[in-house]
Each structure stands twice: as C-alpha cells, then as structure tokens.
Amino acid sequence: MQLTFYKYEGTGNDFVMVDNREQFFPKDDIQLVKHLCDRRFGIGGDGLILLENDAEANFKMVYYNSDGNPSSMCGNGGRCLVAFAKSLGLIENKASFIAIDGLHHATIAENGIVSLEMSDVNEVKIYPEYVFLDTGSPHHVQMEVDLFHLDVKAIGSSIRNSDLYGKAGSNINFVKQVSEDTFAIRTYERGVEDETLSCGTGATAVAIAMHAIGKTPNNHIGIDVQGGKLQVAFEKEGSTYTKVMLIGPATFVFKGTISC
C-alpha cells in the first residue's frame, strides 16, 4: 500500500496525519501504526491521527499512540487535526469534531493559532504530594523545585507503572511555577513511554490543578512546555471547570508517501 501522509506538530508534539474519509486504512493493524510512528524506520511521530467523516460534526478524530494502540484524547493532536482539516478545505475558521471523549469545538486564527474546547473537568483529586484529574486523558501532576535537571523518563515511568495507577497507567506531569499565571512543565506520556516536548491534555491538567490548589487565582494561564508555549483558559462553576480552552500553534511540517 502506498500511503499518503501529512506531518504536523503543535509545540513539538508531532503527529502523522492520514485522510481516512474513504476508510482504506487498516485500523486494527497495531504494528503498522507503530512502524509509521517509528523515528528510525518509519515517518516518526508521537502519535498517528486518522481524519474520518462524521454524520453530525465536520469530521471525526481517531487517535493512536506511537506504541500502535488506540488512546484517549490528545489535545495537541486535536489542534493539529483542525489545521489539517482546514488545509483539506473541510472547514474555514471554525470546526466541530468527534473524538473518543465526545464533541469538541475549535477555531483557527489567520496566524495559525488553534483554540480547542476541551472536556469539562468535574473532579480534581488533591493529595499531599500530587493532584490527579482527567482532561480527556488521565494526568498526575506534581510540583518540582529542580524541574530542568529532572530525569523525567525514569521518574515518570516509575510513577506511571506503579500500583498507584495500575495497568492502565497515567500521564505524569512535573511542574515549576514561573510567575503568578505561568508554569513550566515536563510530561511523561503513557503510550509514548517517554518524555514528549509537549502534551496538550497535560498542559490543561496542570493549569486546572494549579488553580485548584491555590497556586494561581487566574483563569487564563500560560504553560511553558519543552517545545514552546501554550495557553489554557477556563471558567469554574461550583466544583466543575467548564469552557476549558487549549490555545497554541499547529504547524504543517511536510507531506509524503510511504510504502507499507
């Protein structure tokens, strides 16, 4: 099979995009997805995303981690998919799409900044050493003093695979406060099983967690990731975080074909 693909990245979180509106892609072939995401023998990416037709929204998002397995919501991937849909002529500056966690809405500005509405967060679990919440994907959030010398892969892997989260695991975020409304983060992603340069649902989780534990009173928060800068905005109604927006660039890298 000759596969046409498109490479996109959002603050360094990179994805292989495939237009699967004709339903030709073998969606159960875990090894194929893993191969395409391989940085040495394939195209390379933190994940693979299929764009498909949907009866009620502009399109559907089907997301795979780089280990080849279907996964939970990917915020940066969703933003990149909106940019991809615009390049295909499916949308102009507004989009609605279905992902594994439900319906999402997004806008894309002329400068390429994509604002993606994330799922509401109904529960934030606060523990003495960390915070846990689900922003479309499960996230463990903990503060660190020496963030930039941290062995994220080793420590993140140990927490992700611990009895704390069982077989399903969790994404692990390490955080340092930069200012009243800005935080630097590094994230270990399950499914990639390594640190990534950016994680959209992780950035969202950190912003909400920092607000929940009183580290910031603001509801528009800057998140410095390894690959750039994201913003997260939200409102709070009772104990629920609503109108959660993940905001940042989504950039086309290249188009190609590969035999598989």
Residues known to be catalytic: 74, 199
In order of 33, 79, 102, 242, the CA distances from 220 in angstroms are 36, 18, 24, 13
Q: Work out whether strand 220-225 and strand 182-189 pair parallel, antiparallel, or are unpaired.
A: parallel
Q: Residue 237: how many CB atoms within 10 A of its CB?
A: 9
In order of 14, 103, 168, the CA distances from 89 in angstroms are 22, 20, 37
In order of 139, 189, 191, 195, 208, the CA distances from 172 in angstroms are 6, 7, 12, 9, 15
Distance of CA 230 to the CA centre of its chain: 11
Cβ atoms of 174 and 189 within 8 Å: the answer is: no
Cβ atoms of 247 and 76 within 8 Å: the answer is: no
| Residue labelled with tokens 């750039």 | 228
d(CA 34, CA 30): 6
d(CA 8, CA 10): 7
